Structure 1
Amino acid sequence: MKKAKRCLLFSTLALIASPSALAQLTCEVQTFEFELPKIADGTIEVRSEAAQIIKNEVAVFQGDVIITTPESIITADSANLQENGRTIEATGNVSYTDELLQVQSLGIEANAELELLQLQSSEYMIKGINGRGGADLLSISKEQGVILEDVSFTTCPKGGEDWKIQASEIAIRKGRPFGEAKHTRFYIGGIPVFYLPYFAFPITTERQTGFLFPEIGSTSSTGVEYAQPFYWNIAPNLDTTITTRYMTNRGLQLKNEWRYLTQNHMGELQLEYLPSDTDLADSDDRYFYRFFHQGKLSENWSISADINDISDNNYIVDLRNEFYNQADTHLQRTAGVNYYSQSLDFSLFVRDFTTIGNFEDNYRAIPEAKLFYSSKLNDWLDFDIKSELAYFENPLASRGDALRFHVEPSISLPYQRAWGELLAQVSVMHTYYDQDVENIPDTPLEDEVTRTLGQGRLYGSLIFEKDQKLANNEYLLTFEPKVQYLYTSYQDQSNIGLYDTTELLTTFSNIFRGQEFTGLDRINDNNQITLGATSRLINDANREVLVASIGQILFLEDSELDASNRDDNRSSIAAEVDWRINRNWFVHSDIQVGNQSNKVERSSVSTEYRLSDTKLIQLSHRYIRELSNEKIDQFGISASWPINENWHWVGRYYRDFELSRTTEAFVGIEYESCCWALRLTVQRHLATRFNNEGIRNIDEFDSGIALQFVFKGMGNQTNKVDMLRQGLFGYRQPFVLN
């Protein structure tokens, strides 16, 4: 299961707080050590400076009295033992310690026959909880557990009780993962704020049925909203969280998360339903569901599924979603089985999509089967074969269905050494299409198409190493040139439809693939040489601190394929850089420079300064000269930084230079003491809603404000940087080196 959820049980009123608001600042936890005394059951050991026995009935002990039983240790200034130790009375600086509690008290009384222990005017600590309190009377019995009368509780340090609860009674019963309080008053800054006739709180990390901390916020889309989750611990491997979310602009939404876990399977079912959205003219019902599953059938067989759907185009924009954001245009639906072995891989999947907005429906692969087999023919030659069988279906009547079968045997001669790699490979790519073109007027597509292409590939790379001293540090510097010759024969493919094929970007990792397209519907003819080089800087801990790569394709012949987008005898120059400048500075960049224009076609750069998980500043820039007849030129900054020990600030800002406007602005500020925290977030971003025709509107903005409060020590913990992961763009680390 995921990390266990801790919860609060309420009978009437829930705390106004959120698990995500709990920050990481903590006070020094007051704890104590206790080991069970190693004495025989039923015996009592007493040590003191002086002792007196009266008529063999009463034993009086004075000065540094230590009373040890098999379950506890009592210390006091004086103590009386009667009836051969069956009753004990101790006074003066009394301390009682067992596996659960440590108590300081004015006096203690114990009765062995009743299995009852009582302490008056006590101050207590509970082991494992950063909390403490006081009680007029504290009773411990084998039958009832621990009962405290006229009791207080707080997680704040002594003398700084920013909040506390007082109750007429608190009971911590044996075998139960939570404590119970009656007639509870909650105080903040010494002022009572509300009252609960019954209140329960966790005393272990076990999952417990009950209410979680609620969430309160406000946006221009939903209005003021209040979400109250209820957690149900159905079984050790099965639970659910049911959330009621009330929005003043839209009504009451129900959300449900089911989780299950078995020895070989795990999964989740997410359900969200909003009946009669009052913000819509026709008050439509709105919903979202997601089913996710992963499982192992045997040593080699596994299954998986990820199925999603929503009621309308604007569901994510209006109501937000944990798994998708408003920039997504498709929700996937996949389910299938996989087989893995040393030489054979097989998969059988159904791949479907839910399209968001007025975008052409993708073809669904119902089903798609793939098989890959690899074997060594001898010490020098390897043989492998890739094959695929897929049936594509489209809901549009103007687009025909199709069956595609592809088989690609290859023979390769690999040679790998520490100094480099050589590879010679010959492949035959044979594809058969059976296309339904009956309802497609004036189409060049044909009912049956057979395409057979040959491909030859020569690839080589070398690794040169040199010890390098930079800034008084020792490094290993590598230079790794790479070259590839690729030849692919040509066949006219205009009679084949596009079912799962799109054009690839010219990135460094793609230029050595030798293909300009994903999928199999278009395979470009090639007669080309690819040149590239990578350089690495490796420190004495064998970690890469710098990786830089650059490459370009030289076309020896023009492509005859109509879909090919070549306009020169060379491709764009593709380069990538990952640089860990020092412990705190990180840079990632990739760039594509046009060959004819010598201008940047695409680029992205991200620079991050990080002192710790909560101290960071990140600058990012994204540029695309032309994308769907539009230019993208966006700059962003994200920051998380403490103001002082108690105050913390996060912010995010994105600017579109091409349209001269802010696309997203977010700021959050948090006050945190060691026993409570308060978080305020404000956000404004593009709403990107769809109109009735499914066209995205990029001129509307949505604004929101959220306030979260929590009593620390009574909920889940999260990171402050989680605030930066919210919103339209969110926060991501720029890169990860080895």
Structure 2
Amino acid sequence: MKDLILWINLSLLFSAEISDVLSPKRGQGFLDFNLDKRPRAPYNSSGGVGRRTGLVLHRWIFFFSFLAVFLFADTTLWAAEAAPTAKIHGMLINAESMFGDNEKDTAELEGKVQIVFQGQHLKADKARVYRRSRQVELYGNVEIMDAKNTIVGDQVFLDYENNTGVIYNGYVQSGSVMFAGTLLQKTGESEYIVNTADYTACTNCPASWSFSGTTVRAELGGYAYIKNAVLRFGHVPVFWLPYLIVPLKSDRQSGLLTPNFEVSETGGFAFSIPYFWAISRSSDATIEAKDYAKRGLKALFEYRYVLNENSNGSLSAASIFDKAFADDPRLNTYRPAGQQNDPIDRWFTRYNHYYEMPDGGVHRAQINLASDLQYPKDFPEETLNFGDSAMENRVSYTKNNQDQHYSVDSSYYVNMLHGNPLAGNEDAVHRLPELRFAQAQKNIGDTNFIYSLDLTYTNFARSGNAYDDMEEVIIDGAKVRFPKNTCHSPKWEDDPNCKRIYDGTYDPSIDQIRTGQRLDFRPTLYYPIKMGEGLDLLPKLSYRETHYNFNVEENPYLVRRYLRTELSTRMNFSRIYGDTVSSKATRYKHEIVPEITYSRLPWFSQENHPFFGTGNLSDAPYSSRDGISDLDIGSDFGVQFDYNDRVYDRNLVTVSLLNKVTEKRWVGDRPEYRQIGYLKLAQSYDASQEGRSTENWSDLTATLDMRLDHFQTYSIFNYFPYQNVTNASSRVRLLNDKGQFFQVQLTRQYKITPGQPVDTSTRQEDYTFSAGFISRYINLMGKFVYDANWAEAENGKQIKSWAYIAQYKPPGDCMLITFIHEQVVGSDTRFKLNFEFTFDGTPKPPLPPEALDAYGFY
């Protein structure tokens, strides 16, 4: 009953008639909400008697209604239900009480004020609306929200026509970006000027980091320009800048990046400030100035570009007038006395380019150069080739169609094995150029015969002599061959007083040819035969003819020809495991594939030539799985240009057994296949060595590759039965869904010389232990390399190198502090510290385990 009486009373109270009745004087009435300013008739107009009678009646109705409410309605119900709504200039207004002044054209609102206008929702304790000037004043707990931004303040004066105004003691938030101040002037749709301001992108309070300034000019979706900027961690000021520009958007944009800090024994304390330049939508660059306390000022530059969806490139460079390197014994040992301790200009440049051209061709380029051979060791994160024997520079153009392959390739190498950091590059051999044509496997007419063709021309060139003058000595019963020098020592490069000798006369019995041209022609014929379910035969016949032209006066021309026959037989046994009823069930396919391959050279023609050494070619223990090492230099068969110069698998039987497991699982409505298990065993028997050697069996090779969700391993083992040792390269990783991992890696290599026992003291045997821990606020990962043969090492240290990375993620998802500590073998310990601020509210993902590969080189 009282609800019904209350509803009647409110309906009468907020009707236009009651408004007129309660107005003691026109234009100054309480609750006069004729806000749309529709004209009304005066009280003394025609029909006035009826109007006055109505007024009396309405007064009585109002009196009794008010009395009923007073008697029966509780105050809580009144407050809950008495929220009138009105409309002003398209603004929808709601408040507990409203007062209109038609003469001043204003409206007073109090109690839970809410205003909706042009996609904005305004809240306040109290508000005043000025209809003539199109302004609104908001007081107490003011909040203005739209689809992208939120404005909060104690008081807000807003021009709702131009969407400008003033906010007192408030803040503006757009996504995760927030700036606050004592006075915020809204000068446009998304532009603000803030006095005594704070800026942050953190979601926590107090913010993990913030910039404070005397004045901030901000444009949402653009930049904030801060004067007298002070970086604060929490409430603690740590850094001051006179002027700072920070982003208020997550798009690529130009600006200063956070500074980086580094400490090392050689370089001292280093401080760098990078600048990011967003050149265009498809290119950008990073320019960095890095100041070393001991080395000097270094300039770094990196340019990146995208040409199309699949084409991109990058160019990196750096330059420093290195004062610390001037005192380095690695350099001064080889410099004249008058030049020692003089600083030198050190630099590097690295360029990577990949371009898929409109004609279907692909252009690739890889350039990597440095001022000296020690640069990759001192700055391994720049050249990215620390420990390599050469710096490779390569430019190529390739084009493939359905049946053919065409390529033009050129490779320039920088020899990194010299002792003198400033040594020349006259002895490096380059491929300038290499031309190749290949015909893909194709049927001959409608027959089952398949043919393919390979044609390659290579020019091997260098700036020095066409051949190497060599000399030979016997050390511990073994023959050692090395470049002729004044000290007659294999380690002549370690002594600056030793000089290389070029006597100007080619000695075919010992000197090695290093330059020339090679034309290689190789057609192949196949005839695949399917014997039955799971049994395949593949006979193959190939002819190879290779022409050589050497840049020496004696025997400048050589031709090698041979015919190779090969027969492969393979069987495939497979079975499906898992739910075979449901169409979207996870299933596993296990395959066992045994294979036997027999290769033989029924015909071979090659003249005796010093390029292939002085030994009997039939005694050469070459197979397709033999590698090339430094031991070949001292052998009777030399090293030639590359592996293509070897005649391998002359009478060889290879047996292999493959186990493979493939998983099929569904991701949504799409099937996904992945190989989760792979194990291959293989060994060869060389019948061509019968009667000449007791080592007819090759090493037994095992390759294991497993990629499960929480277990991964990739391992290669080579067991040498005659030496009874195993070379190994193995990695085992355990990980969970959070990204935490533990990894053990083994690298063990013995120097194998056929017919000779193994010297285990010269082996390389390293164990690398790595682990990573990820939590809400801290990420940790690290590794160290243990030398199992440390007693025979020159430095006698058990730990060869180490590195760890610690990342602290303060609350608020807005910052990442990364600390790196690494020991580079042969160099000094380095400490690095950098800060990454997040401006878009997206937390940085944890580093993958492979990130450790960039640190702790050995």
TM-score bracket, shorter-length normalisation:
0.7 to 0.9
1:333 aligns with 2:363: no
Change (3 A) 1:137 1:504: farther
1:705 aligns with 2:831: yes
What is the CA deviation profile of residues 234-278 of structure 1, one whole-angstrom value per residue up to 9, with x for unaligned ones? 333333222222222222221111223334853222221122544
2:549 matched residue in structure 1 = 434
Say if 1:59 and 1:82, in contact at 8 Å, map to a contact too: yes
1:594 aligns with 2:641: no
What is the CA deviation profile of residues 523-580 of structure 1, one whole-angstrom value per residue up to 9, with x for unaligned ones? 22512221111112345635433221111112233289xxxx9752221111111234
Letter paired with 1:617 = F
Partner of residue 224 from structure 1, selected from 249, 269, 272: 269
What is the CA deviation profile of residues 687-732 of structure 1, one whole-angstrom value per residue up to 9, with x for unaligned ones? 1xxxxxxxxxxxxx522222334555489946344762332449xx
Partner of residue 854 from structure 2, selected from 715, 726, 737: 726
Q: How do 1:151-170 and structure 2 match up within 5 A?
A: 151-170=197-216
Distance 2:559 2:209 in 1: 77
Partner of residue 134 from structure 1, selected from 176, 180, 193: 180
1:457 matched residue in structure 2 = 566
Q: Name whichever structure is richer in helix by fraction.
A: 2
SS of residue paired to 1:557: helix
Q: How do 1:285-684 and structure 2 match up within 5 A?
A: 285-358=345-418, 361-374=427-440, 375-377=442-444, 378-399=446-467, 401-415=515-529, 419-438=534-553, 446-466=555-575, 475-488=588-601, 489-492=603-606, 495=609, 497=611, 506=625, 519-524=643-648, 526-539=650-663, 541=665, 543-558=674-689, 568-580=695-707, 583-597=709-723, 599-612=724-737, 614-626=739-751, 630-642=762-774, 645-660=776-791, 661=797, 662-674=799-811, 675-684=814-823
Partner of residue 177 from structure 1, selected from 217, 222, 229: 222
Letter paired with 1:479 = I
What is the CA deviation profile of residues 323-347 of structure 1, one whole-angstrom value per residue up to 9, with x for unaligned ones? 4232112111111211110001100
SS of residue paired to 1:305: strand
SS of residue paired to 1:664: strand
Say if 1:641 and 1:650, in contact at 8 Å, map to a contact too: yes
SS of residue paired to 2:706: strand
2:145 matched residue in structure 1 = 97
Q: How do 1:26-65 and structure 2 match up within 5 A?
A: 43-55=90-102, 57-65=105-113
Say if 1:308 and 1:332, in contact at 8 Å, map to a contact too: yes
Letter paired with 1:69 = F
Letter paired with 2:140 = G
Say if 1:553 and 1:570, in contact at 8 Å, map to a contact too: yes
Letter paired with 2:592 = F
SS of residue paired to 2:465: coil
Structure 1 segments unaligned to the other structure (5+ residues): 1-39, 439-444, 509-515, 688-700, 731-738
| Bigger shift: residues 410-419 or 81-90 | 410-419
SS of residue paired to 1:520: helix
Say if 1:223 and 1:249, in contact at 8 Å, map to a contact too: yes
* TM-aligned CA deviation for residue 401 of structure 1: 2.9
Aligned sequence identity (%): 18
| Bigger shift: residues 158-167 or 324-333 | 158-167
Distance 1:590 1:115 in 2: 69
Change (3 A) 1:554 1:393: same
Distance 2:123 2:189 in 1: 24
Work out the number of aligned pairs and report it.
652
What is the CA deviation profile of residues 61-102 of structure 1, one whole-angstrom value per residue up to 9, with x for unaligned ones? 444433222252212234332235711122233210134421
* TM-aligned CA deviation for residue 452 of structure 1: 1.3
Letter paired with 2:566 = R
1:267 aligns with 2:313: yes
What is the CA deviation profile of residues 632-662 of structure 1, one whole-angstrom value per residue up to 9, with x for unaligned ones? 11111011124x6434432211011123422
Change (3 A) 1:158 1:217: closer
Say if 1:506 and 1:572, in contact at 8 Å, map to a contact too: no
* TM-aligned CA deviation for residue 184 of structure 1: 2.7
1:199 matched residue in structure 2 = 244
What is the CA deviation profile of residues 261-315 of structure 1, one whole-angstrom value per residue up to 9, with x for unaligned ones? 3348532222211225443123221111122222233242221211221111101
Structure having greater relative contact order (Cα 8 Å, sep ≥ 6): 1
Distance 1:430 1:720 in 2: 51
* TM-aligned CA deviation for residue 434 of structure 1: 1.3
Say if 1:680 and 1:706, in contact at 8 Å, map to a contact too: yes
Say if 2:622 and 2:646, in contact at 8 Å, map to a contact too: no
SS of residue paired to 1:322: helix
* TM-aligned CA deviation for residue 407 of structure 1: 1.1
Distance 2:658 2:189 in 1: 72
SS of residue paired to 2:751: strand
CA RMSD of aligned residues (A): 3.4
What is the CA deviation profile of residues 579-613 of structure 1, one whole-angstrom value per residue up to 9, with x for unaligned ones? 34x5322232221111324x233112211111146
Say if 1:605 and 1:621, in contact at 8 Å, map to a contact too: yes
Change (3 A) 1:99 1:633: same
The two structures have a TM-score, normalised by structure 2, of: 0.70
* TM-aligned CA deviation for residue 405 of structure 1: 1.0
The two structures have a TM-score, normalised by structure 1, of: 0.80
Larger radius of gyration: 2
* TM-aligned CA deviation for residue 386 of structure 1: 0.5
What is the CA deviation profile of residues 399-447 of structure 1, one whole-angstrom value per residue up to 9, with x for unaligned ones? 2531211111111113469735431211110111111112xxxxxx721
Change (3 A) 1:155 1:705: same
* TM-aligned CA deviation for residue 666 of structure 1: 2.1
Change (3 A) 1:78 1:505: farther
Distance 2:157 2:533 in 1: 78
2:157 matched residue in structure 1 = 109
* TM-aligned CA deviation for residue 231 of structure 1: 2.1
Letter paired with 2:396 = G
Letter paired with 1:575 = A
Letter paired with 2:465 = A
1:88 matched residue in structure 2 = 136
Change (3 A) 1:238 1:43: same
* TM-aligned CA deviation for residue 348 of structure 1: 0.6
Change (3 A) 1:192 1:246: closer
* TM-aligned CA deviation for residue 353 of structure 1: 0.6
Partner of residue 209 from structure 1, selected from 251, 254, 258: 254
* TM-aligned CA deviation for residue 355 of structure 1: 1.2
Say if 1:626 and 1:632, in contact at 8 Å, map to a contact too: no
Distance 2:778 2:373 in 1: 40
Say if 1:490 and 1:524, in contact at 8 Å, map to a contact too: no
Distance 2:621 2:297 in 1: 42
What is the CA deviation profile of residues 339-383 of structure 1, one whole-angstrom value per residue up to 9, with x for unaligned ones? 110001100111111111229944211110000113321241112
Change (3 A) 1:144 1:344: closer
Structure 2 segments unaligned to the other structure (5+ residues): 1-86, 327-340, 420-425, 468-513, 580-585, 614-619, 628-638, 666-672, 754-758, 792-796
